[in-house]
Structure 1
Amino acid sequence: MLTRIQRGIARDILVMFGLSLFVMTLMVMLIGVAREALSQGLGVVGVFRLLPYAMPNALSLAVPGTALFSVCCVYGRMSADNEFTTLQSVGVSPITAIWPAIGIATLLSLATVGLINTAFTWGFNGIQHVVLSSVENVAYGVLQRERSFQHGDLSLSVRDVNGRNLVEPVIGIRRPNQESISIEAKSAVLRYNDEEKGLTLSVTDGTATIEGKASFHFPDTFVHTVPLRTEPPYDVLTANPSHMPMSDLPIASSKQSLEIVRRESSIAVETGINILTGRVHEIVGATAMAHHDAVREGRKRLQRLDAEMHRRWASGFTCFALAMVGVPLAIRLKTADTMTTFGIVFLPTLLVYYPIFALTLDMAKDGRIAACGVWIANAVFVLLSIVMMRKTIYSPV
C-alpha cells in the first residue's frame, strides 16, 4: 500500500510524464514523420493513413526521454524545496520517496517493450503498405518536379506531365531474370494495382526493345504491371528477424538450429561418400562450398535471432535505466530548474548509454559477444544508479 507521500509523488510523475509525452510525441509525428512523408509526395491523405502505423515507433522513442524528464522535474523540485532533508529529519529514508519512480519506470519499460514489438511488426508492415499504395501519387509528384522517377526495377523519364498523362515517356524495366525492357511512347498513364502490389503502366503508341534482342511497335495501348514487392511468403526460416513478432523468435531460433544440424549432417554424409568413392576433389567443389556457405549464413541468422529478442527487451528497459540514473542526479543537483537538470543528465546519456548500446548490439549480431551482452549499457546505468542512490540515502542532501 502506497503512503500519502508516495501517492503524491507518483501523481506528480504521471502528470508530468503525460504532458511531456504528448508534446514530445506530437513533435516527432508532425516534425519528423509528417514532414518527411509530405516531402516524399505522399500527400495529406497518405500522411493521415501513415500516422497510426508510425505512432508505436514514435512512442517507443519518446517514452525513455520523457520518463527521464519527468523524474528530473519532480525529484529536482523536491530536493530544491528541501523535502528530502525534511524526510530525513523525521527519520524517513529517501528511498521511500524513490519507490514510486522505480515502480512507474518498470511499468513504462514493460509497455515500451510492447510498443517496440508492435512498431517492428504491425507498424512496419502498415507503413510499407501505405507507402506502396501511395507510390502512384509519389511518382506523379516526382515526375512533375524532376521529370524522372525510379523505384526498384522501374525507371521512368518524361518530357512533360499533363494531369495524369505522361508525355513522351521513356520507360526502363528490369525483369526478375535480369532481362531489360526499354519502351519509348507518345503517352502513358500510371496506376497502382492493389491486387498485384505493383504499378500498372498503360502505354500508348510506342516501341518496346527487349535488351537489344527484339523490338516491336504497338500503335494501340500496351498494359504492363511492374511488381513493387517481390518478398516471399512469411516463413520463420527466411523472414527478417527485425520484423518478426517476439512470439515467433524462439520458434525461429529452434527451427534455425535444426536446419543447421540438418545441413551439417548432409555435409558430413556427402564428404564421407566422396572419400569412399575417390571423388576427393568434390569435397571442395562448388556444391560443397555452397553447403558450407549456407551453414555459415544459418549461424549468422541464428545469432541475429538470439540478439533480436534481447534487443527488444533491453531497448524497452532503457526507460528504467535512464530514470534510475535521473533520480539520484536530480536530487544531488538540488535545483528546481528542470531544463538544467534534464540537460545535465541527458547529455551523459547520449554520450555514454546509446554508443554502448549500439556497439554491443552490433557485436551480439556478429557473434563477437553473447546475445545477452546487449544488456551491458542497461546494467552499467543501473549499477551506477544504485551507487548514487546509496550515497543519497546515507548522506545528507
Structure 2
Amino acid sequence: MPTRLTRYILAEILKIFVVALIALTLLILLIGVGRTLLREGLGPLAIVQLLPYLLPVSLQFAFPATALFAVSCVYGRMAGDGEVATVKASGISPLRLLQPAFIFAFLLSPFAVYISDLAVSWGRPGINRVVMLSIEDIVYRKMRSQHSYTDDGFSIHVRNVNGKKLEYPTVTISSGGVPIKFEAREGQLVLDAESEQLMLKLVDSRWVRGESLQIFAPGPTEYPIPLSDSPDGEDQESTRPGDLPLRVIGTERLRQDARTHEAAGELAAQTSFSILTSRYEEIVDGKGRERRAELDASRRRLMRLKIAPWRRWAEGFSCFFFVLIGAPLAMISRTSDYWTTFGRCFLPTLLMYYPLFILGLNQAKDGAIPPYGVWLGNVALGAIGMILVNRVRRY
C-alpha cells in the first residue's frame, strides 16, 4: 500500500508540475522577449535567435514556483477531499505522504542548480551577444524613427537617414573617460561581427576630443566602436564572477587570490619606498591611491568569486525548501481550491525567502558574513518547514 500510494502521489505531482512548468516558462519567455523587443527594438530573426538563450533563464525562475504549485495543489486537494484522514485511519503516518514530495524536490534541486549555472554562464551572455550582433539594425531602426540613438558607450544624432547613409551625423563616443565627438557631412555604420566592433565610416568629418584637440579629416575616414570588453570571449579576468560557469570558478578564484596577494605586495612595496625616500605625498596621492583602488577592486572580485558557487547552489535548492514549506502547509490548510492553496503557500514563502536571500547576499558581498550567508533564506525556510512537518506529524 505505501508503495502504491507513493507512486500515486508522485504521479500527481509530476503531472501538475510538467503542465505548470510549460505554462509558466512560456509566460516568462513571452515577457522576456517582449521586454527585450521593446528595449532594444530587435527584428524577427534576432527574436528567434534569442529564444534558446532565454529558455534556461526562464526555467531558472520557473522551477521553484512550479514545484511549490504542484505540491500545494496535490496535498491541498488530498487534505480537502479527506484522503489524508482516510490514509491516517488506515494506520499510515501523514509524514509518509510527504516523502514523495521531498524526494521529488531533492532530486529536482541539483538539476535546478545546473539550469541556473547554464542561465548565467550561457544564457545571459548569449542574449547580450544576439543584441550586440543586431546592433546595426537596432541603431538604424531607432534613427529612422527618432533621428537619434543613445547607448552606454556612444550616442548618434542625425538630420536624416537615407537607406544606410546618415546625413550630417553627430557621434559622441566615450573613450577612457574623455569623450570624442565626430561631426561629418555623411556617414555609415557597418558591423564587424568577427572583431565585435561597429565601424563608423565618415566623409568630411571633424573630430573633437576634450576642449583643445580638433582634427579635420576631409574625405572618407573610419573609426571603430568596440561593442565587447573581451572580443575573444575567453578573458575570464574581465568577466563578471556571476557570469562564470561553476566548473571554472574554482580555478579563477585561485588566480584572483594570487592577483590580490600581488596587488597587496605592490602596495606594501610602494608604501615602504615612499617612506624610505620621504615622499609621503605618494602614499595618499597618485600611485598610492591607484594601488589601493586596484587592491580593493581585486578583493571585491575575489569575494564575489567565493560567493558565486554558494549563490548558485542556494538558488537551485530553493526548490527543495519551497516544497518543505509548501507540502505540509497545504496539508494543514485542507483546501481543495488550487489557487487558494497556492496563494497561502506562495505569498508567505515569497515574502520571506527573497528579502532574506538578498540580505544575505549583500552582507556577504560586504564581507560582514561568510559567503555561505547567501543560504540565509534557505535556512529560514528550512526551520519553518520543520515546524510545519512536526505539526503534520501530530495531524
TM-score by length of 1: 0.91
Q: Deviations over 1:241-271 (max 9, x none)?
A: 1111112222222223333333334444555
Indicate conservation of the 8 Å contact 1:76/1:336, yes or no: yes
**Residue 366 of structure 1 aligns with which residue?**
366
**Residue 162 of structure 2 aligns with which residue?**
162
**Residue 247 of structure 1 aligns with which residue?**
247
Q: Deviations over 1:135-190 (max 9, x none)?
A: 111111111221101224332112222333333323333444836232221x3332
Distance 1:25 1:236, change over 3 A: same
Q: Deviations over 1:76-127 (max 9, x none)?
A: 1111121111111111111222111111111221111111111111112211
In the aligned structure 2, how far is the partner of 1:268 from the partner of 1:216? 47
**Residue 32 of structure 2 aligns with which residue?**
33
Q: Percent identity?
A: 34
Q: Deviations over 1:280-304 (max 9, x none)?
A: 6655553334333333332222221
Indicate conservation of the 8 Å contact 1:75/1:330, yes or no: yes
Distance 1:202 1:264, change over 3 A: closer
In the aligned structure 2, how far is the partner of 1:111 from the partner of 1:332? 29
Aligned length: 391
**Residue 75 of structure 1 aligns with which residue?**
75
In the aligned structure 1, how far is the partner of 2:279 from the partner of 2:216? 51
Matches within 5 A, 1:333-372: 333-372=333-372
Indicate conservation of the 8 Å contact 1:12/1:74, yes or no: yes
Matches within 5 A, 1:309-348: 309-348=309-348
Distance 1:2 1:123, change over 3 A: farther
Distance 1:273 1:203, change over 3 A: closer
Query: Which stretches in structure 1 are left out of the alignment for 5+ residues?
Result: none
Letter of the 1:61 partner, please give it. F
Matches within 5 A, 1:117-196: 117-176=117-176, 178=178, 180-185=180-185, 187-196=186-195
**Residue 210 of structure 1 aligns with which residue?**
208
In the aligned structure 1, how far is the partner of 2:78 from the partner of 2:227? 57
Shift of 1:6: 0.5
Shift of 1:385: 1.0
Distance 1:134 1:176, change over 3 A: same
Distance 1:280 1:26, change over 3 A: closer
Indicate conservation of the 8 Å contact 1:304/1:366, yes or no: no
Q: Secondary structure at the match of 2:84?
A: helix
In the aligned structure 2, how far is the partner of 1:278 from the partner of 1:177? 33
In the aligned structure 2, how far is the partner of 1:376 from the partner of 1:117? 20
In the aligned structure 2, how far is the partner of 1:43 from the partner of 1:166? 20
Q: Secondary structure at the match of 2:178?
A: coil
Query: Which stretches in structure 2 are left out of the alignment for 5+ residues?
Result: none
